Amino acid sequence: MEQQCNNPSSSSCKVDRKTTEKNRRNQMKDLYLKLNSLVPHHQYSKVVLSLPDQLEEAADYIKKLQINLERTRQRKESLTAGVNASSRSRTERLPLPHIEIQSVDSTLKVALITNLDNQLMFNDIIRMLHEEGVQVINASYYKSSNDTVFHSIHSKMQGECTPEYGAARISERLKKFVGGASSLASNC
């Protein structure tokens, strides 16, 4: 049962307020730590940012993610429109499998479009990412009505190499793998 403070100078009221404030500060600290753990930090930066600067960095990162999400959504819509249009006219069809790779800081996003015959390629790409030391954060797929499968992989690069070099190497390896598979499919 909660005690009401009729006399603000009462010692039990002061203790209750102190406890409440301490709990609020602890909760804010926990929430801040959760937010801070989600923001990628520059590995080589030795500068310790103040709390307001770290919160601003988190807000900037969220804005960047929103912009990238919108670009990805628009790209998906254009690819979907291209695939839907190609199902009407086989001459305009995208060569499948098709891969697009986007790198932002240490984040690597892979969009793979296959048909049902090549959908196991998705597993091979995830395996290759693991071999490169990339942590897969989210992987999903969508099968359209014309048996085209859209795969999406969101991952984070780890390790000692710089994100630019690592992303370029991984991108080249994945494109070579998908390109080899598409040339084999066209020979069949």
pTM of whole model > 0.75?
Answer: no
pLDDT at residue 186 is higher than 50? no
In degrees, rounded to 5, the angle at the alpha carbon of residue 58 between the alpha carbons of residues 171 and 169 is 10
> Between 26 and 160, whose confidence is greater?
26
Domain-by-domain residue ranges, the chain?
52-187
Superfamily for domain range 52-187:
ACT domain (3.30.70.260)
Residue 51's Cα: distance from chain center in Å? Answer: 24
Calculate mean pLDDT across residues 134-141. 87
What gap in Å lies between CA 113 and CA 121, rounded to an integer?
10
